[in-house]
């Protein structure tokens, strides 16, 4: 990552408006049709959560605002994206695991399985925040939720997605996701575009 001058980016006005705001985070909710992911997960024997993380990374990689992030008082630019997942470790607690995004889903799946297993066994977080713009995720699969708003600490400005248990009906399987982002990084229109890209990526996924 490298520091860039906000004035030389399309986020110049947003940087001035939102960097000092007491609550610069925005949360959008969207109901996704994840029928295809459920089908692929069952047919190919791969993890649903891995497929979600891959689709999130793929959609984000096509939105240029995801490569910028306010860090402290600076605006940083990244060349790569990673997707974070929360892992249940062998002590019964949780650890954090950043997985580098690869457009090659076989490579992403291999990294996902290897890194999450390593984190679960060692109870040590795998942190790529110095090398990648990390998208946080949290899957609360124990229950169906209608939405979740993340905490703003003033330190962690990364975009974050939260979802619960998917809901089956006779026509489709749906999943409500919440997407929290820093207003300096992107506007609502960019976030909505990302969520639409996420649905399109899910619908087009082949494995």
Write out the chain's pLDDT in tens, 207 residues. Answer: 999 999 999 999 999 999 999 999 999 999 999 999 999 999 999 999 999 999 999 999 999 999 999 999 999 999 999 999 999 999 999 999 999 999 999 999 999 999 999 999 999 999 999 999 999 999 998 888 888 888 788 789 999 999 999 999 988 999 999 999 999 999 999 999 999 999 999 999 998
> Would you say residue 7 lies in a domain?
no
Half-sphere exposure (Cβ direction) of 56: Cα atoms closer than 13 Å = 28
β-bridge mates for residue 94, sequence order: 88
Q: How many domains does the chain contain in total?
A: 1
> Would you say residue 4 lies in a domain?
no
pLDDT value for 37:
98
pLDDT value for 151:
78
> Would you say residue 5 lies in a domain?
no
> Would you say residue 16 lies in a domain?
no
> Would you say residue 98 lies in a domain?
yes
Q: CATH number of the domain that 154 lies in?
A: 3.30.559.10
pLDDT value for 155:
80
pLDDT value for 103:
98
Contact residues for 109 (Cβ-Cβ < 8 A; gap 6+): 46, 50, 54
Percentage helix, strand, coil for the chain under 3-state DSSP, each rounded to 5:
35, 30, 35
Its domain, for residue 152, covers 23-204
Query: 62 and 56 in contact (C-beta within 8 Å)?
Result: no
> Would you say residue 9 lies in a domain?
no
> Would you say residue 95 lies in a domain?
yes
Residue whose tokens read 């408006």: 17
């Amino acid at each position: 990552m490298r520091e860039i001058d906000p004035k030389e980016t399309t986020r110049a006005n947003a940087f001035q408006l939102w960097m000092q705001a007491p609550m610069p985070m925005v949360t959008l909710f969207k109901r996704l049709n994840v029928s295809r992911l459920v089908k692929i997960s069952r047919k190919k024997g791969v993890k649903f959560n891995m497929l979600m993380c891959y689709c999130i990374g793929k959609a984000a990689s096509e939105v240029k605002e995801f490569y910028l992030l306010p860090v402290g008082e600076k605006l940083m630019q990244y060349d790569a994206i990673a997707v974070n997942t929360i892992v249940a470790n062998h002590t019964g607690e949780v650890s954090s695991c950043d997985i580098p995004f690869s457009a090659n889903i076989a490579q992403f799946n291999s990294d996902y399985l290897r890194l999450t297993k390593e984190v679960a066994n060692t109870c040590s977080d795998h942190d790529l925040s110095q090398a990648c713009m990390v998208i946080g995720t949290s899957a609360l699969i124990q229950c169906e939720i209608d939405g979740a708003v993340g905490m703003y600490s003033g330190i962690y400005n990364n975009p974050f997605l939260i979802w619960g248990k998917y809901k089956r009906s006779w026509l489709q399987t749906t999943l409500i996701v919440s997407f929290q982002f820093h207003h300096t990084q992107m506007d609502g229109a960019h976030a909505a575009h990302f969520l639409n890209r996420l649905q399109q990526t899910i619908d087009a996924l082949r494995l």
